[in-house]
Structure formats: structure tokens, C-alpha cells
Amino acid sequence: MATVEEVLADRSSGASVIVEKALSALSALDAAAAARGASQIASAFSDMAMVRNCMRLFLDLCPQEGPREASERLANMVREQNRMAAENASLLLSRYDSAVTLSQSSLVREAMVLSGLKRVFVLESRPMREGVLMCRSLRGSVREAIVVPDGMVSHAVARAEVAVSGCDAILSDASIVNKSGTLPLFLVANGRGKGTLAIGTSMRFDGEHSMERPPAFREMGCTEVEPGLDCLNVYFEVCPSHLIGNLVTEKGTDWRRSGVRN
């Protein structure tokens, strides 16, 4: 079982795993400590709408239900949303033999495995190289899992049929927030006439922001990039809706028709 401190230190896991670890950690605390921990986690992962939303719901439920029951209820809700979203995405991905993705997303991984994809290219996703972890997790579940340096995105897209991403937030105009590198991946895919697909859940909805009013993204430290040099290190970016062929959630194969806000 993770502790709150371990959750706060996690810089490589996707939103679903962060939430799973956070709820596990909070379930073991008394009500006052759990409330403090949930507030800390929401603040630390302000770029991830799913984490923020889940921690806010926990804070609403905890006074009536207690930390353990509130954690179990939310964990079950998250698991069910993820299961349904992965199944919906797999229906679309089953049309293809190959795909390219980036970073590390348990939701994307599950959809890819369910779909029967044969070859997956994974951009390494610097500076933390979560894509390498994603590639390793796919080995044995797809025929070929191939890690690709970020600068070679055009080569990966040329060899794949569809570009796939998770999303850390679905904004009010159907643009998404995800790992930096998602925008160039989808730009290249659109330019080459390839399919594009983003996978999320309604827990990731952020009605306060849009492409024109994006969230404020934090700049992270330079030690992750190159110690001793000035750098620009921003983990997340916005990708506009028009670059996303299908925005899949637990509610259907495109939330723009199914209404994730409900």
C-alpha cells in the first residue's frame, strides 16, 4: 500500500494509477489525516483533472462515509469507467494492426491489448521516459512493442495506422490536456492522413478551461533534463479538438456526441 508521500513523489505514473494509489493511501488514514492528504494530492497533481476531481469527491464523501468507504466507492467508480472506456476504444482499434502512442497510460494499454493490435510504437516521452515503461508493459501482450525517441515521431507515424493517446483532462471545448508530445504526434498523424484517437473518462472532465483558456501548466526542475543547464520542462500541453478523430469515454466512441458532461 502506497503512502501519501509516495503518491506525491510519483512523476511517471498515469492518472488512473495515481488515483488508485492515492485512494489506497487515504483509506488507511483517519478522517482528518485523509482530508489533508486528499487536499495535498489534488494540489500536487493540478494538471490532472481526474486526480483533482477524484480528490474533491473524496473530500465530499469522507465526512459521511469515512475514508475507507469513500475510497472504495470511488475506486470502484474509476475502475468501471476505465473498463467501459477501454472496451469502447478497443472496438475502434480493432480495425487496425498497428498504432503509435506516447507516455504511460493504463487505460490506453488496456484498450490496445483488448483490441488485438499487433504492433505498437511508443514514444519514449522525455524527460521521465514513461514511454519506456509503457513499452515494457506491452511486451507479451502485443506481437511487437517498439520504443521510439521523441524526435523520431514522424518515422513512427509513417509506420503506424493510428495515433492514440490518453488524456489527463477533457476541456469544455473537447480539446484535451495530455503529456507534452501529444500535440506534435497528432499534428503529424493528421498531416499524414492517419487516424487519431484519445481515450478518457468523464472523471477527467474540466469545464473551467478550454483551448482558449488553458490551465496554467507548471514548469518542472531542470535536473530531470540536464543538470547545470537552463531548460524548459513542462509535462503537459493542450491538443485541440479538431486534431482528434475520436474522443472515447465510457459513454461512447466520441464524447462530442455522447455528452461526457452528464
Euclidean distance between CA atoms 17 and 34, whole angstroms: 18
CATH at residue 186: 3.40.50.10470
> What's the CA gap between 176 and 254, in Å, rounded?
13
Name the residue range of residue 75's domain: 4-81
Closest CA to 247 of 209, 211, 205, 212: 205
pTM for the full predicted model: 0.92
Same domain, 39 and 166: no
- Beta-carbon-side half-sphere exposure of residue 28 (alpha carbons within 13 Å): 8
pLDDT of amino acid 261: 47
Whether residue 18 is found in the same domain as residue 76 = yes
User: What are the counts of helices (DSSP H) followed by strands (DSSP E) for the chain?
Assistant: 10, 10
Both 72 and 94 in one domain: the answer is no
Q: Looking at the structure, do residues 52 and 159 belong to the same domain, yes or no? A: no
Containing H/E element for 134?
helix 130-138
Are 96 and 189 within one domain?
yes
Q: What is the pLDDT of residue 258?
A: 57
Closest C-alpha to 203, from 23, 15, 4: 15
pLDDT at residue 11, rounded to an integer? 86
> How, if at all, do strands 169-171 and 205-206 pair?
parallel
* Dihedral, CA of residue 105, residue 106, residue 107 and residue 110, to nearest 10: 130
CA distance 160 to 256: 25
- Does residue 114 share a domain with residue 198? yes
Task: Determine contact, residues 174/248, Cβ cutoff 8 Å.
Answer: no
Same domain for 104 and 87: yes
β-bridge pairing 176-179 and 144-148:
unpaired
pLDDT tens digits for range 174-233: 999 999 999 999 999 999 999 999 999 999 999 999 999 999 999 999 999 999 999 999
Q: Given 64, 81, 98, which residue is the final one in a domain?
A: 81
70 and 93: one domain? Answer: no
In this structure, which amino acid lies at residue 124? E
The verdict on 28 and 75 lying in the same domain is yes
| 218 and 97 belong to one structural domain | yes
Write the CATH number for 35. Answer: 1.20.120
What is the grid cell recorded at 173?
471545448
**Domain endpoint, select from 27, 56, 81:** 81
pLDDT along the chain (262 residues), means of 10: 93 91 97 97 92 96 97 97 97 98 96 98 96 97 98 98 97 96 98 98 95 93 95 97 96 73 44
Domain boundary at 81, 96, 129, which?
Answer: 81
Q: Say whether both 74 and 26 belong to one domain.
A: yes
Same domain, residue pair 109 and 33: no
Number of domains the chain contains = 2
